[in-house]
Structure 1
Amino acid sequence: MDTVRKVFSGARAGQKIVANVYRPRMRPHADGARRVTLLLTHANGFHKELWEPTLQRLFAHRSGRWTIEEAIALDGYNHGDSAVANRASIAGETYVPWFLTARDILAVLSELGGGRGKRAVVGIGHSWGASSLLLAELLSPLSFAGIIATDPILYTKPTGLAEVAAITLKRRTEWASESAAREYFAGHPFFGAWDPRIRDLYAAHGLEASGPGAATRILKCRPENEAAVYRGALYASPFATNNLWRIQCPTAFLTGETSHPASPQHIADITRDMADCTHMVMPGAGHLLLHENPDGTADCCAKLLDGFAPKLLLPAANL
């Protein structure tokens, strides 16, 4: 697939949202297939490139129901390349309401423009990124033709946020070189469970030089910014959870069988009043299913897109 870097304007003046725009090198156009644009958002502490193995497999998928025109993967404003671009304005963050990232998503959709009636925009997000997509749809109904929420963080009353933030602030942030970081990730129980492709992408795109010409590498998403996002779940996550019934576009939830923050039973309970909702469980997967099994994630998304396809004829209303 071909990749082009694009910088969007965030919802707040001066804030940048860095994205990768992916396009398949060969675009099959089956008669009657719905043209789809994917908008991808990532989990807290990670970055847009981690979607690439899943996208590769989705682009290779052959369906007579839908075809992907392009996929746009975003870095949250304080993550990945967006964090590098916004470094001065995100220093010292302690609390990040998730409504801010939802507004950024809507700003990107607005800037994309021109797709109304021609192309359906389907949001696919993971964890915090999935919750942010749902919040964006709640703030501006029918901005999406469909949403696939992959293990979203949805609580009626979040607890333990201070403890999670405190653990995050203790995370290692710096390595002598990228190769040293790769060795560390490969041997660490948390990262070692990931697909090797995801681990390589995390090292290649999640780190930056600690200074001009320095070999030392440091996380682009600083622990203080990641911790601020965890604290930001306090009001936004319950708002999304309690208002899921308002979402009008077709919505699918993909959850890991052993996920702790988004157990299959929990998702089934909170989505039962949604008008158009599908729930799929990935066997053997935990919360980080995208990291552990990107190919399986792609296969599940392809099946969910098959289900969406007949419903994607209406344009996204707010593009």
Structure 2
Amino acid sequence: MDTARRVFSGARTGQTIVANVYRPHVRPHADGARRVTLLLTHANGFHKELWEPTLQRLFAHRSGRWTIEEAIALDGYNHGDSAVANRASIAGETYTPWFLAARDILAVLSQLGGGRGKRAVVGIGHSWGASSLLLAELLSPLSFAGIIATDPVLHTKPTGHAEVAAITLKRRTEWASESAAREYFAGHPFFGAWDPRIRDLYVAHGLEASGPGAATRILKCRPENEAAVYRGALYASPFAANNLWRIQCPTAFLTGETSHLAPPQHIADIIGDITDCTHMPEAEFYSVS
């Protein structure tokens, strides 16, 4: 697939959202197929390039019902390349209301010329990114032609993830070289269990040089920014969870069997009032994929 960089204006003056635009090498011709754009959002602490293995599979898929024109993966304003661009404004950040991410998504949609019956955009999000897509749709109904929410964080009561935020602030942030970082993450109890393709992408695009020409690598998303996002779930996550019935676009929920943040039964319990909704736990998903 072909990849290009694009920079969007964020919802707040002076902030930018850095994105990768992916297009298939060969666009299959399908008479009558609906042409769609994918908009992808990542989990807290992750970045846009982690979607690339998924996009390769999607671009290889052939359907007579729809054709993917392009896929646009965003870095949240304090993650990945967006964090690098916005470093001055996010330094010292302690609290990130998730509504900010939702507003940035709507700002990007506006610049794409999408939403409300214009360009057909399907949102695909993971964890915090999935919750942000749902919030964006609640703030501006029918902005999306559809949403696929993977393990969305949807608490029905306020929570600030204080324990997770405290652990995050203790994360290691710096390595002597990229190879040293790769070795560290390969042996880590959490990252070591990842698909090697995802782990390699995490290191290749989630770290930056600590200074001009320096070999030392440091996380683009600093622990304080990641912790700020965890704290930002406080009111935004319950707002999304308790207003899902307002969502008007077709919505699909994918949940991991052992997910702590999005247990399948919890998701099943809160999505029943969405007009056009499907729910597929991980076991079912892999049985048909």
- Shorter-chain TM-score bucket reads over 0.9
Q: 1:129 and 1:112 mapped to 2: Cα distance?
A: 19
| Partner-residue secondary structure (3-state), 1:189 | coil
Structure 1 contact 140–318 (Cα < 8 Å) conserved = no
Residues 101-158 of structure 1: CA deviation (Å, up to 9, x unaligned)? 1000000000111687564100000000000000000000000000000000000114
Q: 1:110 and 1:203 mapped to 2: Cα distance?
A: 31
Structure 1 contact 35–118 (Cα < 8 Å) conserved = no
Residues 2-52 of structure 1: CA deviation (Å, up to 9, x unaligned)? 000000000000000000000001011212211110000000001000000
Q: 2:61 and 2:224 mapped to 1: Cα distance?
A: 39
Residues 256-289 of structure 1: CA deviation (Å, up to 9, x unaligned)? 111111011000000011111100xx66xxxxxx
Aligned-residue offset at 1:180:
0.3
| Alignment partner, residue 241 of structure 1 | 241
Q: 2:119 and 2:240 mapped to 1: Cα distance?
A: 26
Distance 1:178 1:48, change over 3 A: same
Aligned-residue offset at 1:159:
3.8
Unaligned runs of 5+ in 1: 284-316
Distance 1:142 1:88, change over 3 A: same
Structure 2 contact 115–142 (Cα < 8 Å) conserved = no
| Alignment partner, residue 100 of structure 1 | 100
Q: Give the alignment's Cα RMSD to 1 decimal.
A: 3.6
Structure 2 contact 206–221 (Cα < 8 Å) conserved = yes
Q: 1:245 and 1:40 mapped to 2: Cα distance?
A: 23
Q: 1:53 and 1:158 mapped to 2: Cα distance?
A: 34
Structure 1 contact 256–263 (Cα < 8 Å) conserved = yes
Q: 1:85 and 1:113 mapped to 2: Cα distance?
A: 24
Q: 1:172 and 1:97 mapped to 2: Cα distance?
A: 25
| Alignment partner, residue 76 of structure 2 | 76
Unaligned runs of 5+ in 2: 282-286
Structure 2 contact 245–273 (Cα < 8 Å) conserved = yes
Q: 1:277 and 1:269 mapped to 2: Cα distance?
A: 13
Structure 1 contact 48–80 (Cα < 8 Å) conserved = yes
| Alignment partner, residue 183 of structure 1 | 183
* Higher RCO structure (Cα 8 Å, ≥6 apart): 1
Distance 1:137 1:15, change over 3 A: same
Structure 2 contact 248–275 (Cα < 8 Å) conserved = yes
Residues 232-260 of structure 1: CA deviation (Å, up to 9, x unaligned)? 00000000000000000000101111111
Distance 1:118 1:141, change over 3 A: closer
Q: 2:52 and 2:158 mapped to 1: Cα distance?
A: 31
| Partner-residue secondary structure (3-state), 1:198 | helix
Distance 1:172 1:114, change over 3 A: closer
Structure 1 contact 4–22 (Cα < 8 Å) conserved = yes
Q: 2:160 and 2:67 mapped to 1: Cα distance?
A: 42
Identity, % of aligned pairs? 92
Q: TM-score by structure 1 length?
A: 0.86
Structure 1 contact 143–318 (Cα < 8 Å) conserved = no
